[in-house]
Amino acid sequence: GAGVSQSPRYKVAKRGQDVALRCDPISGHVSLFWYQQALGQGPEFLTYFQNEAQLDKSGLPSDRFFAERPEGSVSTLKIQRTQQEDSAVYLCASSHSGRGALSTDTQYFGPGTRLTVL
Amino acid sequence: GENVEQHPSTLSVQEGDSAVIKCTYSDSASNYFPWYKQELGKRPQLIIDIRSNVGEKKDQRIAVTLNKTAKHFSLHITETQPEDSAVYFCAATLSNFGNEKLTFGTGTRLTIIP
């Protein structure tokens, strides 16, 4: 079946522009995560959704970062007034588990969006 | 919060030899430890995982061991092949009925020398 998809795959923005990154999780997956991966580093957690509820946004680096998942499926990560330090690959992951799950389910990652801020 | 350290950062082994990558974690409550393989420009893919109620898990040429007392876990790849060349990430999380945000190590670039 279809895996996690993300669009666009590449995005170049001028400093100060707003960008929107889209994630389509695996159908039926309750949990959705956003991670930021800087060059040569491991992914770092940004935010977590359980269905449409954003239950953890502790990893968002500033109030310029905003994420939503209004219908509990597709999610959008928005970055306002982009800065050079925002340049990274933004990964989305989904898993089947959610509230009431008794064990950890595998997180399946999308291919990422590579954001370059000039 | 959780902190995961991973060593070595780069590793080169002759084809057919074994490779070992080690990780330590800080939060003794963490109970799930996945390993991901990431090829250049590709998405991270799960290759094996282990939960805190077991000490070792094997899947063909890949094995993972967990020492809860010492808070470290290791990935073992035997009979390495050129297609094993990639960056490997360990991760840890506390299974918490859904919010299983992963804390990743910094990665190991594994190169298999033909």
DSSP state letters, chain A? ----EEE-SEEEE-TT--EEEEEEPPTT--EEEEEEE-TTS--EEEEEEETTEEEE-TT--STTEEEE-TTSS-EEEEESS--GGG-EEEEEEEES--TT--SPPPPEE---EEEEE-
Burial of A7 (0-12, 13-18, 19+ CB in 10 A): middle
Q: What is the identity of the amino acid at B36?
A: Y
What single-letter amino acid sits at A24? D
Q: pLDDT by residue (tens digit) across B30-79?
A: 999 999 999 998 999 999 999 888 899 999 999 999 999 999 999 999 99
CB contact under 8 A, B51 and A42: no
Answer whether B102 touches A (CB < 8 Å): yes
Comparing alpha-carbon positions, the chain B residue that sits nearest to A46 is B101
Distance from CA of B91 to the nearest CA of A (A): 9
Q: Residue A73: what residue type?
A: S
Chain B residues with beta carbon closer than 8 angstroms to that of A10: none
Q: What is the pLDDT of residues A14-68, one digit of tens each?
A: 999 999 999 999 999 999 999 999 999 999 999 999 999 999 999 999 999 999 9
- Separation in Å, CA A41 to CA A38, B29, B58: 5, 24, 27
Cβ atoms of A65 and A79 within 8 Å: the answer is: yes
Interface test with A, best of B30, B49, B57, B101 (most A CBs within 10 A): B101
Q: Do B97 and A101 touch (CB under 8 A)?
A: yes
Predicted pLDDT at A109: 96
B98 vs A31, A35, A108: nearest CB: A31
- Are A45 and B102 an interchain contact pair (Cβ–Cβ within 8 Å)? yes
- What average pLDDT does range B77-82 have in this prediction? 97
